[in-house]
Amino acid sequence: MQKIILATMVLMLLSSVVYGADWKYFGTDADGTDWFYDTQSILRGQDTTKVWAKSIFTDKTKASYIKEFPNQPVIENASYDSVRMEINCSKI
């Protein structure tokens, strides 16, 4: 009985761990869209680095996406986009 209680407690503790993103600003593009990267998602390889990036939509950016993808009504409610980037560091 004690093993079952202990196992349940361990599972509850492990399942309650939440990992959040740590978004850091790194620039603004020509359309005024702010870009951020997640410091906790950086994976460095020998020649490449992978990282999650997020762009916050401006009204201009959102209008452009709606025009480009008219059959995607989800875009109208979106405020940002995230993308996994792979950077070839040997070519920098």
Q: So what's the pLDDT on residue 16?
A: 43
Q: Where are the domains of the chain?
A: 19-91
Q: So what's the pLDDT on residue 17?
A: 47
Q: Can you list the residues of the chain whose pLDDT is less than 50? A: 14-18
Q: So what's the pLDDT on residue 19?
A: 60
Q: So what's the pLDDT on residue 4?
A: 62
In a 3-state reduction of DSSP, which class is residue 52? strand
Q: Is the pTM of this model over 0.85?
A: no
Q: Enumerate residues 6+ apart whose C-beta is below 8 A from 51.
A: 37, 38, 41, 42, 43, 84, 85, 87
Q: So what's the pLDDT on residue 77?
A: 83
